[in-house]
A and B are shown apart, each in its own frame.
Chain A
Amino acid sequence: MRNLFNFIIRYSHWLVAIMLIAFSFYLVFTHNSYQRSVYLTSANKVTGQFYTISNNLTSFFLLKQNNQQLLERNAVLEKDLYSLRAHLDSLATADTTEVNAFVRDTVESPQFDFIPAEVVNLSFSGVNNFITINKGSARGIKPDMGVISQRGVVGVVSQVSQNFSLVIPVINPKFRLSGKLKNSENYGSIAWDGKNIRQAQLLDLPRHEVFQHGDTVLTSFSRIFPRNLIIGFVSDRGESKDDNFNTFNIDLATDFYTLQDVLVIDDRFYEEQKALEALLQ
């Protein structure tokens, strides 16, 4: 008996170590969804407490960074607003009576033009949501043009009549768009699972991609949208079909409940690019 006690006393730090390691692995297998899919038998409800605690802590530490991001975004919007105002002013005061055929147009036309429009109808009744806006082919709107709000991506124009256009929003299962996290170059695709109007999913992002709650999701290359428009913000890690890839739930930047004014993006080079790419097919 004394030998047993001696043995326990002598090696008790190993026992403590083994217990702590076992506890750590317990945490690993019960909490992390990726490991859980490998070890289905140890599947358990996520211990949400850790998220709550860590979110409280990390959100506090990220306040400064978030504030900075907001300021930067504000500055960008301020700039955009200024240039749009200048553009509108120049349109309003342009003298159309004077003709000067020998002055060369020295201003290079920008690739993207923005056509403001108002939302006249929104349908959120079922899964096949759509938005109707009050500008149509009469104002130069064509199918496949991107639509954005002041906050972020809204959708893509699908059909056009003379004075109205039908927009397929992000919150429609048919909608596809490539997106990426702000701090990385890997892209995934944006889709909507039909559950929540405020949330869409970023699929097929490589698993090693580091993310944080609140990370900005931007548009990647696309025929329709300019790069680096805000789509939304990472909310949490969703269920993934493939262990190699992550799925993120993202909080959409655009609030569809209160959507009023949108901008339709007119890409001057869209037809040219499409025609060129069609040569290969």
Chain B
Amino acid sequence: MKLSYLYEIVRFVLLILLQVLLLNRISLFGLATPVLYGYFLLKLPMGRNPFFVIISAFLMGLIIDIFLNTPGMNAAAITIVAALRKPVMDLFFEKEEYDEFVPGIYTATGPFVRFTIFMVLLHLTLLFFIESFTLFNLTSTLLRMITSSVITILLIVTLDSLFYKRRQSEQL
């Protein structure tokens, strides 16, 4: 229990640093920028206190905003995603799952991938439209949004299969 909190804090810090120092300098084909920090929300246990989820997401967004000189944008997008996390989870996962259930590619492959795709699309849609705010340059915004989403989803699935494989096999 305590250990899982420690993992979460480490993940929180690492994801922020990764996003700010590395991923935001990437612009694949001049379009796609991975937005990985939402992965933090995906890996929280299912029954986690909604206050904790929302406030930690807001703090994360705010810290990233401060680094990237975009006050409010990331914070708004990720807070909305965090608020909608529980209802979305109920859509994709069995309601009977216990509270400490952590979504992962080895624990529930199909639902986890679908859940990831939904959450990333939601997050990036919000983020890019808050960023451009008016729809007058719709094609370019959509293109950036879709390419960024694809690369983010691929990155999350890859990371999840890499980092959670060992622990999973130990449990088995």
**Complex Cα spacing A57 to B65, Å:** 12
| Residues A13 and B67 in contact, CB atoms below 8 Å apart | no
| Residues A50 and B71 in contact, CB atoms below 8 Å apart | yes
B115 at the A/B interface (Cβ < 8 Å)? no
| Residues A17 and B72 in contact, CB atoms below 8 Å apart | no
What mask results when residues 53 to 69 of chain A are scored 1 for a CB within 8 Å of chain B, else 0? Answer: 11001100100000000
| Residues B55 and A16 in contact, CB atoms below 8 Å apart | yes
B36 at the A/B interface (Cβ < 8 Å)? no
| Interchain nearest-CB distance for B20 vs A (Å) | 8
**Complex Cα spacing A61 to B62, Å:** 18
Q: Which residues of A contact B70 (CB under 8 A)?
A: 32
Choose, from A21-29, A165-173, A255-263, the stretch at the interface: A21-29
| Interchain nearest-CB distance for A27 vs B (Å) | 3
A14 at the A/B interface (Cβ < 8 Å)? yes
| Residues B80 and A21 in contact, CB atoms below 8 Å apart | yes
Q: Which residues of B contact A13 (CB under 8 A)?
A: 50-51, 54, 83
Q: Which residues of B contact A210 (CB under 8 A)?
A: 24, 27
**Complex Cα spacing A21 to B126, Å:** 12
Residue on A with the closest CB to B51? Answer: A13
A121 at the A/B interface (Cβ < 8 Å)? no
Q: Which residues of B contact A150 (CB under 8 A)?
A: none
A31 at the A/B interface (Cβ < 8 Å)? yes
| Residues A57 and B66 in contact, CB atoms below 8 Å apart | yes
Residue on A with the closest CB to B24? Answer: A210
Choose, from B102-110, B133-141, B159-167, the stretch at the interface: B133-141
| Interchain nearest-CB distance for A211 vs B (Å) | 9
B21 at the A/B interface (Cβ < 8 Å)? yes
| Residues B73 and A28 in contact, CB atoms below 8 Å apart | yes
Q: Which of B65, B71, B83, B134 contacts A17 (CB 8 A)?
A: B83
| Interchain nearest-CB distance for B148 vs A (Å) | 12
Determine which residue in B21, B72, B73 has the highest number of CB atoms from chain A within 10 A of its CB, and name it: B72
| Interchain nearest-CB distance for A58 vs B (Å) | 6
Interface size class of B (residues with CB under 8 A): 20 to 34
Q: Beyond A16-B55, A50-B66, A244-B137, is A24–B75 a contact (Cβ under 8 Å)?
A: yes
| Interchain nearest-CB distance for B23 vs A (Å) | 12
Q: Which residues of B contact A222 (CB under 8 A)?
A: none
**Complex Cα spacing A26 to B54, Å:** 18
| Residues B67 and A57 in contact, CB atoms below 8 Å apart | yes
B116 at the A/B interface (Cβ < 8 Å)? no
Q: Which residues of B contact A27 (CB under 8 A)?
A: 65, 71-72, 75
**Complex Cα spacing A26 to B71, Å:** 9
Chain A: interface residue total (CB-CB under 8 A): 33
| Residues A17 and B54 in contact, CB atoms below 8 Å apart | yes
| Residues B79 and A20 in contact, CB atoms below 8 Å apart | yes
| Interchain nearest-CB distance for B157 vs A (Å) | 26
| Residues A24 and B79 in contact, CB atoms below 8 Å apart | yes
| Residues A24 and B61 in contact, CB atoms below 8 Å apart | yes
B130 at the A/B interface (Cβ < 8 Å)? yes
What mask results when residues 206 to 223 of chain A are scored 1 for a CB within 8 Å of chain B, else 0? Answer: 001010000000000000
Q: Which residues of A contact B20 (CB under 8 A)?
A: 61
| Interchain nearest-CB distance for A208 vs B (Å) | 7
Residue on B with the closest CB to A39? Answer: B133
B11 at the A/B interface (Cβ < 8 Å)? no
Q: Which residues of B contact A14 (CB under 8 A)?
A: 83
Q: Which residues of A contact B169 (CB under 8 A)?
A: none
What mask results when residues 181 to 219 of chain A are scored 1 for a CB within 8 Å of chain B, else 0? Answer: 000100000000000000000000000101000000000
**What would 8 more interface pairs be, CB under 8 Å, given A31-B72, A54-B66, A208-B144?**
A13-B51, A20-B54, A23-B72, A27-B75, A28-B73, A34-B133, A57-B66, A210-B24
Chain A positions within 8 Å of B, measured between CB atoms, are 12-14, 16-18, 20-21, 23-29, 31-32, 34-35, 38, 47, 50-51, 53-54, 57-58, 61, 184, 208, 210, 243-244
A-B contacts, 23 of them at CB < 8 A, read A13-B54, A16-B55, A17-B79, A17-B83, A20-B55, A20-B75, A21-B80, A21-B83, A23-B72, A24-B61, A24-B62, A25-B76, A28-B73, A28-B76, A29-B72, A32-B70, A35-B133, A38-B134, A50-B66, A54-B68, A57-B67, A61-B21, A244-B137
Q: Closest 3 CB pairs between A and B?
A: A27-B72, A24-B76, A28-B72
